[in-house]
Amino acid sequence: MWVDAERLKHFYNTSLGVLVQRKIVAAIEDLWPDVKGDVVAGYGFCHPYLGLFDGEAERIISLMPAPQGARPWPKNKKNLTALVEEVSWPLLDKSVDRLILCHALEYSHNVQSILEECWRVLSDRGELIVVAPNRRGAWAQTTTTPLGYGTPYTGHQLYDLLEHANFTPLKPRYCLYAPPSTRLLNLKLSSSLEKYGSLFSKKLGGVLVFPARKQVYALTPRRTANWLPRAFNPTAT
């Protein structure tokens, strides 16, 4: 079940959503400190995170799957969002350098096909980050936030999915050790919990931020029968 884009936007406008955004942005910054000259794309609801690369990346593209719906982004600027078929993206092969999946894999029944599309559009030096709710964390156990919907993953499960899709999984980051509550006490303590939570059990973080690299020596993933040639090249001027 896909969570609607409008509902996701509303969540990120709340104090709890701002907390989630801040923690995940910190993890992404740690993994990708420099994207200068790269083409960066996001699939799913990535608007809270793509702005991180504004002014540094050569180009930024937001791909929003049809079952989720789309919203224009960024605000008050030229729209960089495209509504796309879930497993058929209007991008040329090897046209993206960095790709983020957020609010995507946990909602879809076509996980392997989505990862095949990721492999196809990424350049030979391409890197992928999957942001997904952690099955062991508290955030996946309640439907008070969008992270409680769909299928959460453990680190081992995501590792296996990425490896099977011809990616080289790297060391994941865990974040959101504070419980999913809007109570002021939890919001104040979130920084301390984030800092010391991993000392007790890093795998109890509410969200997995899992990086991977494309395996350039791997066999090209099988295309679906209804595959059509892509015409859009995001690197074109």
**How confident is the model at residue 195, as a pLDDT?**
60
Residue 61 tokens read as 């593209």
CA distance 225 to 210: 30
| pLDDT score, position 2 | 93
- Position 235 scores a pLDDT of 53
The pair of structure tokens assigned to 12 is 């990120």
DSSP string, 172-233: -EEE--S-S---HHHHHHHHHHHHHHHHHHGGG-SEEEEEEEE-TTSPPPPPPTT-------
Q: d(Cα 232, Cα 235) in Å, to the nearest integer?
A: 9
State the Cα–Cα distance between residues 131 and 25, nearest whole angstrom.
11
Q: What is the DSSP string of 109-126?
A: S-HHHHHHHHHHHEEEEE
Decide: 129 and 101 in contact? Cβ < 8 Å.
yes
pLDDT at 204: 85
Give the pLDDT of residue 236: 53
Domains of the chain: 5-214 (3.40.50.150)
Separation between Cα atoms, residue 152 and residue 143, nearest integer Å: 12
Q: What φ, ψ does residue 207 adopt, rounded to 5°?
A: -135, 140
> If the chain, 237 residues long, is cut into consecutive pieces of 10 residues, what is the mean pLDDT of each piece?
94 92 95 97 98 96 97 93 95 98 97 97 97 94 94 96 97 89 59 60 86 80 48 50
